[in-house]
Homo-oligomer: A and B are copies of this chain.
């Protein structure tokens, strides 16, 4: 498995070449045989396991219970909600044969589970006492992808989808906002990625929703990744699937519903945001290995005391719940340095003859190559804890600074076009909210509305495209 032969494309030269190289050389993923599918190799899947572990707790804190609904959905279910079937039909995978026979009704592989879940909700929900009902699934979904790209656009992807039903639209709106808050906090405090939370336009919202909230994150090449979505479905599906409850006055009412999800595309954003020419750079919170200890043993060095100190440091860190690995294998020191840089391990601890003599360790940071911290053994846990915390903060601040520096106001369309042709990034621009202007802007600049940021202030503006009256500056950008 010698993957070190070919070096990585420079990130600054060609970001998509770099992205593919890093993913393949760090053994995160590979293309699957069916177009658009990917193999999550152990090092890539470990990132998803870390995301799941962290997010699952947060999802349960929202009051959700995990469940699992079938992969196969009758096509007739999708047809029940008009906007939904229209939105998803072009992306469906269809099973026509099962058990050696042609099926009477073709079934689709779930692109999302609203329809199959809400048919069940219509049976499970009878009274206001059954509300709210909040269920989450961790599963795989399929949306046929014509332009696949590792993690960011794949035919099959892994995600969680939360689905709730409430008595009132106010409750549903509170739910979508809480779900969005959860995602924003997860991205910022765990994955270390700054972004904008806001509302999607009518043409960009989920097929079947009244409104969609999103978290939009700027990548180093000036393009934007949608990090998650949280939909207020209103009563659209409730009416299609007759999801009704008896209120406390004995009246039949339709429930108000929400759905919200975060997928393995988050891994793509994580790689793009933080990686460098040497490979991945992982924020400590999500890194499967936070610290690697490498004994620096040469022919003349005191093997016994070096290895003893390395083992001691390992045990101290592990005892303090730090995800630490001791690599005393017979690979060369150079290979190890490159390998753990490639894998993005936040902290490397080097222990050689001098360190053994002084009973101290040398700490180096993946995210700041210039720094070396010396720590005596009795302080190593505390020092490492502090450094992990510090790295986490600095990585987020760097992402924030980059995003803010690349968020520009455009006051006329020429300016808008010039920005999109050069640096890209986010553009704040007045838009009249007419989908025709939005479509024209997309056609001419590839930029789409990303969102109307939360807490946007109403003003008297004019649409960047048609110059008609516009109330808000929307965020525009080129999407991945």
- Residues of chain A touching chain B, judged by Cβ–Cβ distance below 8 Å, are 1-2, 30, 32-34, 37-42, 44-46, 48-49, 65-74, 77, 89-100, 106-107, 109, 116, 119-120, 124-127, 129-130, 135, 139-140, 142, 144-146, 155-156, 158
Of B34, B48, B70, B109, the residue contacting A68 (CB under 8 A) is B48
Of B2, B33, B107, the residue contacting A74 (CB under 8 A) is B33
Least Cβ distance of A69 to chain B in Å?
A: 5
Known: A37-B70, A156-B71. A93 touches B98 (CB 8 A): yes
Q: Are B93 and A67 in contact (CB under 8 A)?
A: no
Q: Are A97 and B89 in contact (CB under 8 A)?
A: no
Contacts of A146 in B (CB 8 A): 99
Contacts of A91 in B (CB 8 A): 99
Q: Are B69 and A32 in contact (CB under 8 A)?
A: yes
Least Cβ distance of A40 to chain B in Å?
A: 4
Instruction: Report how far A448 CA is from B74 CA in the complex, Å.
Output: 36
Q: Are B124 and A72 in contact (CB under 8 A)?
A: no
Q: Are A116 and B33 in contact (CB under 8 A)?
A: yes
Q: Are B98 and A95 in contact (CB under 8 A)?
A: no
Of B37, B42, B100, B119, the residue contacting A72 (CB under 8 A) is B37
Known: A30-B120, A39-B67, A45-B67. A94 touches B92 (CB 8 A): no
Give 24 CB contacts A-B under 8 Å. A1-B125, A1-B126, A32-B70, A33-B70, A33-B73, A34-B73, A39-B68, A39-B70, A40-B68, A42-B67, A45-B68, A48-B68, A71-B140, A72-B142, A90-B99, A93-B95, A94-B98, A95-B96, A96-B96, A96-B97, A98-B144, A99-B146, A109-B109, A140-B140
Q: Which single residue of chain B is at the shortest CB-CB distance from A146?
A: B99
Contacts of A120 in B (CB 8 A): 30, 39
Q: Are B33 and A77 in contact (CB under 8 A)?
A: yes
Contacts of A33 in B (CB 8 A): 70, 73-74, 77, 116, 119
Starting from the known contacts A33-B74, A38-B70, A48-B68, 12 additional A-B residue pairs (CB-CB under 8 Å) come to A32-B70, A37-B72, A39-B68, A42-B66, A45-B65, A45-B67, A46-B65, A46-B66, A90-B100, A92-B97, A93-B95, A94-B95
Instruction: Report how far A406 CA is from B119 CA in the complex, Å.
Output: 44
Contacts of A77 in B (CB 8 A): 33
Contacts of A109 in B (CB 8 A): 71, 95, 109
Q: Which single residue of chain B is at the shortest CB-CB distance from A40?
A: B68
Q: Are A34 and B94 in contact (CB under 8 A)?
A: no
Least Cβ distance of A12 to chain B in Å?
A: 30
Least Cβ distance of A73 to chain B in Å?
A: 7
Known: A32-B72, A126-B2. A66 touches B37 (CB 8 A): no
Contacts of A69 in B (CB 8 A): 32, 39-40
